[in-house]
Amino acid sequence: MVRQSSHGDVIKGVREHLADIFEKSDQSIYIYLDDINKVCNERFASLLGYATPKEWAAVRQNFPEAFVSPKDRQRLVSAYQDAVDKLVGSTISISWKKKGGNEIYSTTILGPLTLSGNNMALHFISPS
C-alpha cells in the first residue's frame, strides 16, 4: 500500500525542492495548496508587510479574503483553478492586501505544479 503524503509534507517537500528559486529569485514567490498549506519566500512576506514567511503562512483565513483586493479575488481564483485543474499557466494583474490594510498592485504569474499527486500553483509576483 502506497502512503499518501499529507498536504504539510507536500508543501515542505516542494519548498525544499525549489529552495534555490525561493532564495535566489528577484521576484516574490509563493505556492498555495490550501488555506493552511502554503509557503512563500522572504520577498513575498515583506511585500505584504509580514516579518517572515512563517508569519505569513500562519494566517489561516480564506486566502483570497486575507490577501487579495475584493475586485481581484475572482480573477485569482479562476487562474488558480485553471492551473490546478487544467495545468494551464497564466499572467494576471492583482492588487494584494498588505498586513496594514494598504494594497499593492502587481503582475502575477501562475504556473501549475504537481507533487505526490497534488496539483498546486507556483506564483511569481512583480509589483507594478
| C-beta separation of 57 from 31 below 8 A | no
| C-beta separation of 10 from 118 below 8 A | yes
Residue 38 lies in a domain: yes
Contacts of 77 (CB under 8 A, 6+ apart): 64
Residue 1 lies in a domain: no
Q: What is the pLDDT of residue 125?
A: 98
Query: Domain of 36?
Result: 7-127
Query: Tens digit of pLDDT per residue, the chain (128 long)?
Result: 333 458 888 899 899 999 999 999 999 999 998 999 999 999 999 999 999 999 999 999 999 999 999 999 999 999 999 999 999 999 999 999 999 999 999 999 999 999 888 899 999 999 99
Contacts of 102 (CB under 8 A, 6+ apart): none
Q: What is the rounded CA–CA span in Å between residue 73 and residue 96? A: 9
3-state secondary structure of 90: strand
pTM of the model: 0.91
Helix (H) or strand (E) holding 3: none
The CATH number of whichever domain residue 38 belongs to comes to 3.30.450.20
Count of domains forming the chain = 1
Closest C-alpha among 35, 39, 36, 34 to residue 14 = 39
Q: What is the rounded CA–CA span in Å between residue 55 and residue 80? A: 23
Q: What is the pLDDT of residue 9?
A: 85
Q: What is the pLDDT of residue 5?
A: 54
Q: What is the pLDDT of residue 117?
A: 85
Sign of CA dihedral 55, 56, 62, 65: positive
Residue 2 lies in a domain: no
